[in-house]
Each structure stands twice: as C-alpha cells, then as structure tokens.
Amino acid sequence: MGRSAGDPIEVLLVDDQPAILAGVGALIGSEAPFLHLAGSAGCGRDALELALHLQPDIIVLDVELGGEDGLALIPRLRACCHAVIVLFSTLTGAERRLRALPPDIAAFFVSKGGEGQELIDAIRCAAARADGKGRGADSGVFRA
C-alpha cells in the first residue's frame, strides 16, 4: 500500500444489497478521518472497474454477489490493484471454506451478523498488516 502516515485508509465496498452498501458505507464514513469510503459496487464488473480506477487500500467483499461468486472475483481484483481483501458474508456455513483460504487471498472474514466494530477492526488490522505493522484480528474476526 502506498499510504503515508496520516492518510485515511481507502476502502472499496462490494456488496449486491443496496441496504448493506448504504449502512456499511455510513459506518465506514463515521470513522473519518481514519477511514474513507473510496467507492462502492453492487456487482463484480463494477468492482473491477472501481478497483482499477481507485486503487483502494482495502476491499470489503461480499462472498455472494447476487449469484456471482465473490471468491472467484478475488484473482481478478488482485490483478487490478494491491488492496487487501476483507471478506464479508452472512454465510455461516462458509466459515470452514473461508478459513482454509491462504492468507494472500483474503486477510480476514467478518460475519454480517456481527457488530459493526468487528468490520472496522478487520479493516484496520488488514491495513496494518499491509503496512507491515501487524497481524491477527480481534474477537469475532478471524484470519481467513
């Protein structure tokens, strides 16, 4: 990541549900000046375009994008930018699959059913990890 000290963490949010985009977008916005919602996308095609154009620090990616497989989108996102991926999902049965992912695929998994602070913590931990300042996660968040 090419952030300087004091620059906000630039976040791209990818989810097919408008209510999630609005709510999580507001949550991220409430963390200014430390976090900044650089953009949001409701489908894989838009996510790829924004990732290429915005070059975010972190991508919060829904695992299921209205019939699209968010996990299958990861290699294409990685080809567009160097963002750290935080997976975000309601799929409780997917935890085992997500835990098996190599750390270079996704840094963290956060359940949509958890507290908003869990997502904020995961974003901050992912940014610190990318900056070489730390690893690991807080409760409710696990390294994928």
The predicted-structure confidence for 59-105, as pLDDT tens digits, reads as follows 999 988 888 888 889 999 999 999 999 988 886 655 555 655 665 66
Q: How far apart are the first and last CA of the chain?
A: 20
**Would you state the structure tokens that stand for residue 119, as one six-digit string?**
């997502």
pTM to 2 decimal places = 0.84
Does residue 1 fall inside a structural domain? Answer: no
User: Residue 94 has what pLDDT?
Assistant: 56
User: Does residue 106 carry a pLDDT above 60?
Assistant: yes
Q: Which of 130, 106, 132 lies closest to 141, judged by CA?
A: 106
Does residue 2 fall inside a structural domain? Answer: no
User: Residue 139 has what pLDDT?
Assistant: 33
User: Residue 141 has what pLDDT?
Assistant: 45
Does residue 94 fall inside a structural domain? Answer: yes
Give the mean model confidence (pLDDT) for residues 4-23.
Answer: 92
Quote the percentage of the chain above a pLDDT of 90: 51
Fill in the amino acid letter for 68. E
Does residue 4 fall inside a structural domain? Answer: no
User: Residue 98 has what pLDDT?
Assistant: 61
Containing structural domain, residue 136 = 9-143
Does residue 128 fall inside a structural domain? Answer: yes
Considering its fold, how many domains does the chain have in total?
Answer: 1
Give the mean model confidence (pLDDT) for residues 3-18.
Answer: 89
Any idea what the CATH number is for the domain that residue 65 is in? 3.40.50.2300
Does residue 3 fall inside a structural domain? Answer: no
Does residue 46 fall inside a structural domain? Answer: yes
Cβ atoms of 98 and 74 within 8 Å: the answer is: no
Does residue 39 fall inside a structural domain? Answer: yes
pLDDT digits (tens, 9 = 90+) for 18-38: 999 999 999 999 999 999 999
